[in-house]
Amino acid sequence: MAEISDSVWNDGIGAEDYRDAKATYHAAIFEQYRLCVEMADRVSARRNLANTFFLTLHTALLAFLGAWLSQEPHRDVPVVLALAALLVLLGMCVTWWFTIRSYHHLNRGKFEVIGALEERLPARTFVSAEWRALGEGRDWRVYLPLSRVERWIPLLFAGAYMLGFAAAMAL
């Protein structure tokens, strides 16, 4: 716990830094910091919404395909049409994967800026201390970064689509 306490407080900032003109300066930094944290939270919310959209879309498509294929054998579907559908589905998976990657990079940049702003504040609770408390994402038993998990989901859907296509072609 002392390790976290050491990473929370910024030794370079003290009460004397909040007098007179310095107080106005630090108030401006804090306001920018607050805005950056709020924007990082909004990006995370948009990221969650994008994942919900893609997950709903793929789940609905799988449900539709399952219902359609369960009616009767569909050997009369041309291979070209099935392959085109597979390519569209795989394209959606690739789009989802790149969306996740983009949000991950955007958040990483935002947290670097937040960390730099915390260097000017008396406490570095958000980036430095919290990240250290979570083991910096190194031990999955302490904290498993969401981006590591969510990147696998589009790949799992892509694998399921390819296996389904291979099974359909084998019939």
Q: Render pLDDT for 55-95 as a digit per residue (tens, 0 to 9).
A: 999 999 988 887 877 776 656 677 888 889 899 999 999 99
Query: 4 versus 34: which is more confidently predicted?
Result: 34
The rounded distance, in Å, linking the Cα atoms of 45 and 140 is 23
The rounded distance, in Å, linking the Cα atoms of 62 and 163 is 13
Burial class (CB in 10 A: 0-12, 13-18, 19+), 125: middle
Predicted local confidence at residue 26, as pLDDT: 79
Q: Is 9 helix (H, G, I), strand (E, B) or coil?
A: strand
Instruction: Kindly report the backbone phi and psi dihedral angles of residue 123, in degrees, each rounded to the nearest multiple of 5, phi listed first.
Output: -130, 145
Q: How far apart are the first and last CA of the chain?
A: 61
pTM, two decimal places: 0.78
Predicted local confidence at residue 73, as pLDDT: 64
Predicted local confidence at residue 143, as pLDDT: 82
pLDDT at position 98 over 60: yes
Q: Which residues, including other chains, have CB under 8 Å from residue 109's CB and lie 6 or more apart? A: none
Predicted local confidence at residue 75, as pLDDT: 60
* Mean pLDDT score of the chain: 84
pLDDT at position 21 over 80: no
